[in-house]
Copies of this chain bind each other. A is one copy, B any other.
Amino acid sequence: MVTIFDVVRHAGVSSSTVSYVLNGTRRISEATRGRVLRSVAELGFHPNAGARTLAGRRSHIIALVMPLHRGVYVPIMTEIAISVTTTARRHGYDVLLVTNDEGPEGVRRVAASGLADGVILMDVELDDQRIPALRAQGTQAVLIGLPDDPHGLSCVDHDFAAAGALCAEHLADLGHREIAFIGYGSGVYQRHAGYAERTLTGFRERAGQRGLRFLDRPCEGTYESTAGTLARIVADRPRTTGFVVQNEAAIGPLLSLLHSSGRSVPEDASVVALCPEQLAEQYAPALTAVSGPTRELGRVAVDQMIRRLTDARRGAQPEDERPLLTPTLTPRQSTARLSVPKEPS
């Protein structure tokens, strides 16, 4: 094993100098710095993680707590995890993957043992049980999602209300007057996943402002449930020409159902999806979709965490931030101007 003293000998400096160079703790002349770095590279020195953690009282590790539910859109979570990891690396941190099956105890363990310097929580529920645990430990935390009471921690999330509003706006611009909103299964709403509600709220509000008639229906996302949902929508509001789908699993079924019921997209019905670009492009026709900057979510979360950690190390009270990331609507082939107005004036 290569230790710091091997570097000390090889570079002809003291161990404190090596430490200073590697941690950037103090100004070191460019010449010495270069010599040390060359020795480090040549010997393949990597400071022992345990010793560094113990002596420095920080682990250079951020814990990322991932949800386990099926039904959450997994690739999104993964994309966030990856952007968290790469961003963390850029700041010299590694990422510990923690699953949620340990519940609040997992968070407590990771924080209390000093395994991680901070915790990033994904898929936050409105009254999340892990938050009090985090507060009690005095651990730095960043949430991806918005809980009821976020004091003492930073949050970041998509601006779901804006996303919902964008959908209404776009369909209104295209002349549609009657819209149906196809949401998630009731389980998602019961889990108090705020994003579902906020999207709906944003949609409703803007739809109201634009004078649209609208209907919203939960949907489990299976073929059968989507069929049922669509049937009820058509029964209640036969003149519906615009569809907003939030449940990604329902998109496929919805398209085939529309097709098989003789309505072609976008001539007879426009469909806006709330889903990642990648998914939207896979359908035929390609879907007009509203999506938030997923990778950004992870990046911002880590940046906030780094800020909190450096603040805390300086003895300052970290500032609670709460940015919302703006989604964008990308028009594709699934929406079109209402060509034959159902209500000629």
Contact = CB atoms under 8 A, between A and B. Distances in A.
Given A94-B96, A96-B97, A70 B278 contact: yes
B98 A94 contact: yes
Contacts of A28: none
A121 to B, nearest CB: 15
A113 interface: yes
A51 interface: yes
Interface residues of A, number: 55
A206 to B, nearest CB: 31
A249 B82 CA distance: 21
A273 B276 CA distance: 24
A187 interface: no
Contacts of A52: 50, 113
A344 interface: no
Given A98-B85, A252-B283, A49 B114 contact: yes
A284 interface: yes
A249 B282 contact: yes
Contacts of A102: 89
Given A54-B54, A68-B82, A99-B86, A48 B113 contact: yes
Given A85-B97, A97-B95, A282 B46 contact: no
Interface of A: 1-2, 44, 46-55, 59, 61, 64, 66, 68, 70, 74-75, 77-79, 81-82, 85-86, 89, 94-99, 101-102, 108-110, 112-115, 222-223, 249, 252-253, 256, 278, 281-284
15 contacts: A46-B109, A49-B50, A53-B54, A61-B96, A64-B97, A66-B85, A68-B82, A70-B278, A74-B74, A75-B75, A85-B98, A86-B99, A89-B101, A94-B110, A97-B97
